[in-house]
Amino acid sequence: MKAINKNLSLATAYKKWVDELDASNKPHPEYNSSGGKYYYDIIANLLWVQNGLCAYTEMYLADPEKFNPDKWKEGRFEPFKTLGQLDHYDSTLKKNKGWDWSNFFMIHSDVNMKQKRDRKVNYLLKPDKPGFLAAQHLQYDIDVHFFVPNIEGKNQEEIDFIRGEIDALGLNFEPIVDYRKKRLAPLFNRINFGRITTEEARNNLDCIPTAFEMGILQINK
Amino acid sequence: MKISRLSIKDYHQFKTLDIDLTYPEGHAKAGQPLDKVCFIGQSGTGKTTLLKLLFECTMSKNGQYPPYKLELDHKLFITHNLHGYETLSTMSGHVHKKLNGKLVSADDLGFGEELNQFINSPHPFLLFFPAELKYQNFNLPQIAEGSTRKIYDFSDDDIQLIWNKILNEIQIHQEKVLSINHDITKIVSNGNKDSEALQQSINELKSLTSSEYSPIKQLAEKCLDPVLKKFKLKVNTDLDIKTKDDLGKIKIVDNHGSEIPFESLSTGTKQVFFSALPLYTVKPANAIIFYDEPERSLYPDLQKMIVEYYTSFTKNSQFFFATHSPIIASSFEPWEIVELKFNDEGYVVQELYYPVNEERHVDNYTIIPQYLTYDSMLHRVFDVKAPNNELRNIKITELLTLKAQLEKLKGKNDTHFNDLYNQYEDLAEKLSWDFKS
């Protein structure tokens, strides 16, 4: 998972609305994805800043070009279909801060529905955290295609926190691991036996860049 | 007669389904109809429907047809070979020949009489086994008619029809053996111990009780014991007649010789018995045999052997199975599997195991069930996204974390290292030392 610069420069109508809401210090209206007036603006802006990938697993969700600034009209975006779902990173904020931009991420539907749900998070792997660097917290095991905590310089509690976050965000959710294995195992093998260059493999991949880059580091060790 | 193609158009969930049921190019039997076919697919994709339609279309003969059959006429065709002609049958039994790409009625071509005679004459054996077989008792006294029948649909027919035929043969044999025993006793009690008659009777008895001529020994060796031994049971092949009721009865005994009443046998054991016995009894050749959900009530080890077991009783026959079991499906070559799926429009289509733009050639198949673990079968063939319990991957993450910590501490044989190592081994054991997702 890469650091995400969550620039809210496209969904300006939503930004105005939520800023006014926050300024009034009132609780947010009840969150409801189907009834939310700015729902599509939010997810379109997120897909743009997330480069079309799931914020946690980096699975492909949409072509980011569909959401580029030229496609917006007065800070609004037309409803559209997408593979992903809008996630509240910290589900405890859903009740009173249900429309908070900093708590929103677009993520893979299966991860949202079957894995993350309302799991507790501890903000260690929040990808828009200032200075966030995945490699500080994560390593990639190319034998099994799992993410594991980077234990370097961490005590047991910190290691357990990272592991908890890996589970909560679905980084090792079975279908995701299977997908990474299916995509990356042949690429790593081809690189290892000199059939393709790392650059060629990189250009061939439209998702899961963090797993790929961490895997390459291991191959080149 | 074997079915080589199934085409169905605009019928319920089938918009245009055209299934090639021949061996692909590159196969030793390329172009010939498949010996066995396995329909798989999510519930509702029509596996059982197709099985039933194939059965009914194959046995079609003139007469009254229920509305759904009439509705299906000219919507469903099966291709097969009759008297050397590649021929298409419809539900109502009309036979057509493909001529220059067009369907022409056999009547119009002047050979309709011959082909219609074929259609109306008894077909090669057809047997249909529904998912739930009907059976009540193990031993019925009366002997059912039916040994000359060529079509068995066990959705309607009670499987006892076949069972009684076997019991009848056993009873006749037992009565013969008892009769010879009686003759021998009579001769001996008359004091003619060395007589030619005595020797002749003894020889006859020996021959009659040999495996070759004893129906119960044959049944035990060739049909029931290979399955029963998995449950530590076997057929009692000794002549064990204490009362008249023992005549024509098959006794199942455990390893200690104690009889196990049929009612006490597991549902799975009964299921195998009753689905294998018709094949054993009829010994069909050139038959078409349909099995819906053969995995019903069967423990995995039995599922693994069941396809080979059933097919071993037949000669030059064609089997159609419909299953939800990855174990059953792994008994098939990729071209023998017909995976049905809903497309985006909600119609059922066949999922091909080779790229659409490639030739249907053995080398182009990308999914080979026999190469896959059952886990992979669930993923790749049955499209189950997460077949394992979600706790498993959480525990694998924990194990890999422990491994990384151990690697870092390697060489330090202190308490912390030992604690972590013990945790690692304990968890690895619980994960069966199989850490791959």
**Mean per-residue pLDDT, B239-245:** 80
Q: What does the block give as tokens for B198?
A: 């005595």
Rounded-to-integer distance, Cα B216 and Cα B239, Å:
10
Least confident of B185-199, B218-232, B256-270: B185-199
Residue A23's CB: how many other CB atoms inside 10 A?
8
Q: Which of A114, A148, A174 sits opposite B401 (nearest CB)?
A: A148
Interval A48-81: pLDDT, tens: 999 999 999 999 999 999 999 999 999 999 999 8
Interval B210-240: pLDDT, tens: 877 888 999 999 888 988 888 889 999 888 7
Q: Is B423 on the interface with A (CB under 8 A)?
A: no
* Extended beta strands in B328-387, E state: 337-342, 348-351
Interchain proximity B404–A139, CB inside 8 Å: yes
**Structure letter (DSSP) for residue B60:** -
Instruction: Say yes or no to pLDDT of B142 above 60.
Output: no
Q: What percent of chain A stands above pLDDT 70? A: 99
- Residue B126 DSSP SS3: strand
Q: What percent of chain B stands above pLDDT 90? A: 32
From chain A, pick out residues whose CB is under 8 angstroms from the CB of B435.
144
Interval B31-42: pLDDT, tens: 999 999 999 999
Q: Which of A147, A151, A166 sits opposite B408 (nearest CB)?
A: A151
Rounded-to-integer distance, Cα B101 and Cα A77, Å:
53
Interchain proximity B401–A178, CB inside 8 Å: no
Instruction: Say yes or no to pLDDT of A203 above 60.
Output: yes
Q: Is A146 on the interface with B (CB under 8 A)?
A: yes
Q: Name the more confident of B255 and B63.
A: B255
Q: Is B417 on the interface with A (CB under 8 A)?
A: no
Q: Is A112 on the interface with B (CB under 8 A)?
A: no
B432: left (phi over 0), alpha (psi -120 to 50) or beta: left
Residue B422, pLDDT score: 93
Rounded-to-integer distance, Cα B250 and Cα B262, Å:
9
Interchain proximity A174–B390, CB inside 8 Å: yes
Q: Is B394 on the interface with A (CB under 8 A)?
A: yes
Per-residue confidence at B273, pLDDT binned at 50, 70, 90?
confident
Instruction: Say yes or no to pLDDT of B177 above 60.
Output: yes
Per-residue confidence at B148, pLDDT binned at 50, 70, 90?
very low
The candidate with the shortest Cα–Cα distance to B308, out of B288, B280, B328, is B328
Interchain proximity B385–A146, CB inside 8 Å: no
Instruction: Say yes or no to pLDDT of B199 above 80.
Output: yes
Instruction: Say yes or no to pLDDT of B150 above 90.
Output: no
Q: Cβ contacts of residue B220 below 8 Å, gap of 6+? A: B234, B235, B237
Per-residue confidence at A107, pLDDT binned at 50, 70, 90?
very high
The model's pTM: 0.80
Torsion (CA) B132, B133, B137, B140 in degrees, nearest 10: 160
Interchain proximity A151–B405, CB inside 8 Å: yes
The candidate with the shortest Cα–Cα distance to B85, out of B118, B53, B54, B61, is B118
From chain A, pick out residues whose CB is under 8 angstroms from the CB of B392.
174
Interval B275-325: pLDDT, tens: 888 888 878 887 889 999 999 888 898 899 999 999 999 988 999 999 999
**Residue A58, burial from CB neighbour count under 10 angstroms (0-12, 13-18, 19+):** buried
Is B57 in contact with B90 (CB distance < 8 Å)?
yes
Q: What does the block give as tokens for A132?
A: 């966030």
Interface of B with A in 287-346 (CB under 8 A): none
Q: Name the more confident of A167 and B127.
A: A167
**Mean per-residue pLDDT, B129-151:** 52
Pick the most confident of A150-154, B286-290, B375-379.
Answer: A150-154
How far does CA B318 lie from the centroid of its chain?
11
Residue B151's CB: how many other CB atoms inside 10 A?
16
**Mean per-residue pLDDT, B175-186:** 86
Q: Name the more confident of A29 and B84.
A: A29
Rounded-to-integer distance, Cα A65 and Cα A48, Å:
7
> Do β-strands B14-20 and B3-11 pair in parallel, antiparallel, or remain unpaired?
antiparallel
Start-to-end Cα distance in chain B: 45
Rounded-to-integer distance, Cα A76 and Cα A59, Å:
26
Least confident of A127-131, A161-165, B18-22, B205-209: B205-209
The CA distances from residue A58 to A47, A51, B379, B400, in Å, are 11, 9, 21, 21
Instruction: Say yes or no to pLDDT of B332 above 60.
Output: yes
Residue B147, pLDDT score: 39
Interval A206-220: pLDDT, tens: 999 999 999 999 888
Q: Name the more confident of A107 and B436.
A: A107
**Mean per-residue pLDDT, A120-130:** 93
Q: Which of B386, B390, B401 sits opposite A163 (nearest CB)?
A: B401
**Residue B402, burial from CB neighbour count under 10 angstroms (0-12, 13-18, 19+):** buried
The CA distances from residue B335 to A95, A107, A111, in Å, are 54, 37, 34
> Nearest 5°: phi and psi at B118?
-60, -45
Q: What does the block give as tokens for B343?
A: 């497309």
Rounded-to-integer distance, Cα A145 and Cα B373, Å:
18
Is B97 in contact with B259 (CB distance < 8 Å)?
no
From chain B, pick out residues whose CB is under 8 angstroms from the CB of A146.
393, 396-397, 400, 437
Interval A172-200: pLDDT, tens: 999 999 999 999 999 999 998 889 999 99
Rounded-to-integer distance, Cα B95 and Cα B20, Å:
19
> Nearest 5°: phi and psi at A66?
-65, -20
Least confident of B159-173, B304-318, B376-390: B159-173
- What ipTM score was computed for the predicted complex, to two decimals? 0.82
Share the mean pLDDT of chain B: 81
Interchain proximity A146–B388, CB inside 8 Å: no
Interchain proximity A149–B404, CB inside 8 Å: yes
Instruction: Say yes or no to pLDDT of A20 above 60.
Output: yes
Interface of A with B in 7-26 (CB under 8 A): none
Residue B284, pLDDT score: 80
Residue B137, pLDDT score: 46
Per-residue confidence at B74, pLDDT binned at 50, 70, 90?
low
Residue B63, pLDDT score: 39
Is B248 in contact with B215 (CB distance < 8 Å)?
no
Interchain proximity A146–B397, CB inside 8 Å: yes
Q: Cβ contacts of residue B138 below 8 Å, gap of 6+? A: B163, B250, B262, B263
- DSSP alpha helices (H): ranges in B235-389? 267-282, 300-311, 326-329, 374-376
Instruction: Say yes or no to pLDDT of B143 above 70.
Output: no
Instruction: Say yes or no to pLDDT of B172 above 50.
Output: yes
Instruction: Say yes or no to pLDDT of B13 above 90.
Output: no
